[in-house]
């Protein structure tokens, strides 16, 4: 690994709901993976953004700088809840504002929800990212009935959850490094519609 060229990983906090639980999950994840060697972390909180930006129009700040941060990132972690057996509209709006910025990038997920732990959103997001030439990694971190699991910002099964978080980041690092090298050596050809 070239330590002078860390992988740029953006953590996207997907819920923009007032009173959301997602901030607790995201904070725990960020604290857990902080200091991972070879990774530069960025955090994009969708609650801070105007997701009504019209597709195809150069947006005003702060969206303009967010576009640049998405373009610069090599890998992403989406922290996603489950709404009606899928992911929230805020995440779809954010994804759809970008196209080439996802191409050839590695994507991972931290999910939470009721009995399914948000995994139905994760599987739905995999289909969306497949259409954008992004590679989703296998491992996930997921919390079923998340609101029962967290006390003082930490999950009850903290050791196992931290292991899952670190495994996810290691998979993203492997794929992210490999895809970055591939992007630098040749453009990814898209088959179109």
Ligand X SMILES: Cc1cc2nc3c(=O)[nH]c(=O)nc-3n(C[C@H](O)[C@H](O)[C@H](O)COP(=O)(O)O)c2cc1C
Q: State in angstroms the smallest separation of the CB of 187 from ligand X.
A: 37
21 lies in the site for ligand X, by CB under 6 A: yes
* One residue of 116, 123, 139, 174 binding ligand X per CB under 6 A: 116
Closest CA to 165 of 145, 150, 134, 143: 143
Give the list of residues 6+ apart from residue 147 with CB closer than 8 angstroms, or none. 21
Give yes or no for residue 105 binding ligand X (CB under 6 A).
Answer: no
Residues 54-83 interacting with ligand X (rule: CB under 6 A):
81-83
Return the structure tokens found at 48.
């801070």
Q: In this chain, which of 20, 105, 173, 180 binds ligand X, going by CB under 6 A?
A: 20
By C-beta, is 82 or 177 nearer to ligand X?
A: 82
Q: E strands, 55-185, where?
A: 75-81, 106-113, 135-144, 150-151, 154-155
Query: Of 151 and 185, which CB lies nearer to ligand X in the complex structure?
Result: 151
DSSP structure class, residue 102: G
SS3 16: coil
Write out the residues near ligand X by the rule CB under 6 A: 15, 17, 20-22, 81-85, 113-114, 116
């Amino acid at each position: 690994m070239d330590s002078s060229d860390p992988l740029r990983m953006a953590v996207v906090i997907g819920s923009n709901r007032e009173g959301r639980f997602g901030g607790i999950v995201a904070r725990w994840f960020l604290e857990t993976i902080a200091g991972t060697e070879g990774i530069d972390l960025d955090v994009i909180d969708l609650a801070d953004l105007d997701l009504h930006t019209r597709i195809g129009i150069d947006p005003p700040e702060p969206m303009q700088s967010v576009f640049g941060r998405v373009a610069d990132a090599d890998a992403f972690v989406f922290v996603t809840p489950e709404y009606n057996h899928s992911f929230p509209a805020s995440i779809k709006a954010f994804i759809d504002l970008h196209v080439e910025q996802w191409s050839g990038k590695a994507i991972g997920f931290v999910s939470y929800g009721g009995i399914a732990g948000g995994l139905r959103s994760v599987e739905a997001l995999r289909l969306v990212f497949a259409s954008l030439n992004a590679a989703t990694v296998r491992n996930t971190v997921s919390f079923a009935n998340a609101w029962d699991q967290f006390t003082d910002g930490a999950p009850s099964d903290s050791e196992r959850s931290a292991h899952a978080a670190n495994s996810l980041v290691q998979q993203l690092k492997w794929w992210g490094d490999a895809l970055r090298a591939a992007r630098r050596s040749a453009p990814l050809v898209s088959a179109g519609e």
